[in-house]
Chains A and B, each alone.
Chain A
């Protein structure tokens, strides 16, 4: 291996924090710079001589490219580099699981917004204008936008491998089972966007020796690096990544966006290149949550015991693979919900289409099926004349049961307990509707109702998903702990490549180190590729896997400390050795201060931590695919204006098992934030597509919940330790997003009596008015038609 070259940019100074131990709420280490506006996000990076990159994107969802002429753009003053697919030095495609996505398109474009060329110039506006000078000769083709159409034999194939990207078939028990009571339904989930607030951005800096440093917001530095190196045709050690401040992620930064482009431009121009998407471009620049259509049939006996579940899931994977394979698998395995289902037949399909590529988003396959299985459970309860919570309790899975994919349900699996908890939580006070402050009515200050037509409803849902990477994936994290003495005080340096995307991982690493080594000063170094991979900040896995790695590295350091103590002081202490308050203790007796023990040199240990192995599913969809499961239940109370279809969510109550509360304040933040995204999917958020084109690529028309839309979240947290995980903890980030959506929709059904088989629920549905939206161009800043394709208005 080559010697590592020096970084080309000065690193920000790392200030040690005093993090507190695990279980304590302590202010986050990055809080001060964030509230002062001094935290350096990737979009804030700048160095002297820096150029600005910009990306030419296809306006067509499906087209052949006959030629690309960049001559005019290259001649523009201020333009330093114009690159196309011909300039990609190495592998011309990339992808995390399946490298099928062109770095820059050649011959075909398969979705609207697909990158075709990139430009670097001395001002962002010059770069944009240069893009307008690039001539691309397209032959426009009909887009394939319906996954059901893509699945048909006679549909043209978008990729050589065909249109079926992945299929998972689960056969569990008697797949022909019949039952006395049967309910069926068809359900649909729209395309949700992660809508992190900090758009994609980064800065690539050439090192003058052929290599490149990239300062970037991402969820997983090493998988980025490996893909970049392949496409640049460089050895991985010549591509060094450092995490910059990340403005949220939620799955949307797991795939590459501008990483390879900025490095190509920087290497070509010989100057640092910064790229920064705007909001509109961001909607084209990352994958979205898969839209999904689901057909379900549940069979039960007359007492309400589930006999079978049959489900057919059809996901729209969009133009390229991203992490669709894993989403397809996840959805298949969780399609029945957290219930003891003796017989099941699940068919999960992932299709290529000319829609935007879809991939990871919080909940990852579990969100879509949870909406369907929970709606089915309510339907079944209704048909049986049972209370919906009672039906769920009756069928709740327990440790020792078999999942439909054959794995045994491990301890703990408190499905019944969390349901009982949410059912027993106090209901929000029912305030008299007439005379109430407008702001506590549907529609709020917009004054649509003073109480006319308003009805209240309550709904329940429960969901679950796996934590971490599954099905045989080698899922690990690397951590290095250095314990030394500075200015007479012991200090711990923690180094991992785990991406802090806002979730609080940096604080947690410090807390673990503080807890394990009894040292107050802890500095967490910037995440970068100088150390081994930490895996992705996704799948609710970093507390477990990188947390486990940090803990294990601390244990290794502690072992070395004790060794040194024994070397210097013998091994007759009359008590177990421990580390506390900067000293080594035996029982309660102080043996030596670390400042003294480490005077002549610190201790550093680097470890790789792996959770227990998982295995791929066999041809019947059976196997020990997952290593940990997290459960949450939700109760929603809503008020609906029946005539207008407007909703006020009054309260969300939730119970979730987290194994061990590592940091109460950040746990609450994860739960509240996750619920907000579930609420968004239930009521507001959808990327609206028409003929393969995005209709609402702006925050004007893509509706994120505001502070007026979010109700208080009442929560109870269970700490049922997982015997296999560090501290017994479970991943917490995703469960709040999974069953909050169906709980809200169940409450809407309770209030209105309507079916509501699709999310997000539109006011039209709630008000009982039909009507198909007609295409209109997105018009941020204005709601009327502007462009010429707006015939419907005339």
Chain B
């Protein structure tokens, strides 16, 4: 089948897609956007989190056909050409990145959280990010990064 959708602001299409391919597979293997990661493929780890029509979703559990005509934003679409998004900067500055495999999903999930809640409390951050597993950091610096990003946003950065 053929798939058309808008990804990171561009109209994209993929031919020869198998019905069973997930949005994650299509992004990674057909649209050259490997930033979203495949860690569990069961919707448990959040590493493949992307926006679909403005909603944070696990792209591994979105079927090709379900993405038809939708607007997708991936981690690759958050930064300007030269300037990192404040969430991205904060993850680096706070030391929230180790192996980094969970990072793209967490960046998108944090971006989504701060869109909805500019000044989340610790427990709100924990609740919002509980669908994103990280095995390296013990999460404390991720919490720091989210708070740092919220502060940066608050300062108009």
Could you say which residues of chain B place their CB within 8 Å of the CB of A410?
Answer: none
* From A40, A437, A675, A699, contact of B133 by CB (8 A): A699
Q: How far is the CB of A246 from chain B (nearest CB, A)?
A: 6
| CB-contacts of A597-629 with B (<8 A) | none
- B47 interface residue (CB < 8 Å to A): yes
Could you say which residues of chain A place their CB within 8 Å of the CB of B99?
Answer: 196-198, 246-249, 501-502
Cα A504 to Cα B98 in complex, Å, equals 7
B130 touches A708 (CB 8 A): yes
| CB-contacts of A414-473 with B (<8 A) | 437, 439-440, 444-445
Q: How far is the CB of B28 from chain A (nearest CB, A)?
A: 7
Cα A35 to Cα B104 in complex, Å, equals 6
Cα A257 to Cα B121 in complex, Å, equals 42
Q: How far is the CB of A230 from chain B (nearest CB, A)?
A: 29
Q: How far is the CB of A651 from chain B (nearest CB, A)?
A: 11
Q: How far is the CB of A91 from chain B (nearest CB, A)?
A: 32
Cα A28 to Cα B142 in complex, Å, equals 15
Closest to A667 in B: B95
Q: How far is the CB of B54 from chain A (nearest CB, A)?
A: 19
B-binding segment of A41-49, A312-320, A367-375, A475-483:
A41-49
Could you say which residues of chain A place their CB within 8 Å of the CB of B39?
Answer: 197-199, 247, 279, 699
* From B42, B74, B84, B95, contact of A279 by CB (8 A): B42
Could you say which residues of chain B place their CB within 8 Å of the CB of A32?
Answer: 84, 92
Cα A35 to Cα B87 in complex, Å, equals 9
- B29 interface residue (CB < 8 Å to A): yes
* From B40, B107, B138, contact of A674 by CB (8 A): B138
- A35-B91, A669-B141, A780-B42 known; A198-B136 Cβ under 8 A: no
B102 touches A197 (CB 8 A): yes
B135 touches A781 (CB 8 A): no
A439 touches B127 (CB 8 A): yes
* From B29, B40, B92, B140, contact of A712 by CB (8 A): B140
Q: How far is the CB of B113 from chain A (nearest CB, A)?
A: 12
Q: What secondary structure prevails in chain A residues at the interface with B? A: loop
Closest to A674 in B: B138
Q: Provide the B120-144 mask, 1 if CB < 8 A to any CB of A, else 0.
A: 0001011101111111111111110
- B18 interface residue (CB < 8 Å to A): yes
* From A36, A501, A502, contact of B35 by CB (8 A): A36
A699 touches B97 (CB 8 A): no
* From B75, B93, B133, B134, contact of A37 by CB (8 A): B75
Could you say which residues of chain B place their CB within 8 Å of the CB of A713?
Answer: 138, 140
Q: Provide the A685-728 mask, 1 if CB < 8 A to any CB of B, else 0.
A: 00000000000001110001011101011000000000000000
B84 touches A30 (CB 8 A): no
Could you say which residues of chain A place their CB within 8 Å of the CB of B142?
Answer: 707
Q: How far is the CB of B18 from chain A (nearest CB, A)?
A: 7
Could you say which residues of chain A place their CB within 8 Å of the CB of B135?
Answer: 194-197, 248, 250, 673, 676-677, 704
Could you say which residues of chain B place their CB within 8 Å of the CB of A440?
Answer: 123
- A772 interface residue (CB < 8 Å to B): no
A699 touches B92 (CB 8 A): no
Q: Provide the B23-48 mask, 1 if CB < 8 A to any CB of A, else 0.
A: 00000110001111111111111010
- A36-B84, A698-B42 known; A27-B92 Cβ under 8 A: yes
- B51 interface residue (CB < 8 Å to A): no
B18 touches A37 (CB 8 A): no
Could you say which residues of chain A place their CB within 8 Å of the CB of B75?
Answer: 35-37
Closest to B125 in A: A707
B138 touches A672 (CB 8 A): yes
| CB-contacts of B47-106 with A (<8 A) | 47, 74-76, 79, 84, 88-89, 91-93, 95, 97-104
- A163 interface residue (CB < 8 Å to B): no
* From B98, B126, B131, contact of A673 by CB (8 A): B98
Cα A194 to Cα B136 in complex, Å, equals 10
* From A31, A198, A677, contact of B37 by CB (8 A): A198
Which residues of B come within 8 Å of A, CB atoms? 18, 20, 28-29, 33-45, 47, 74-76, 79, 84, 88-89, 91-93, 95, 97-104, 107, 123, 125-127, 129-143
Q: 10 nearest interchain CB pairs?
A: A37-B35, A502-B99, A672-B138, A247-B101, A34-B100, A676-B138, A37-B75, A31-B92, A44-B34, A35-B88
18 contacts between A and B (CB under 8 A): A35-B89, A37-B36, A40-B34, A125-B18, A125-B20, A197-B47, A197-B134, A669-B98, A672-B139, A674-B138, A676-B138, A706-B130, A707-B125, A707-B134, A707-B142, A708-B130, A710-B138, A710-B139
Known: A35-B100, A198-B37, A710-B140. 14 other contacts (CB 8 A): A25-B95, A28-B97, A37-B35, A125-B20, A199-B39, A245-B100, A249-B99, A278-B38, A279-B41, A502-B100, A666-B95, A672-B139, A673-B136, A699-B44
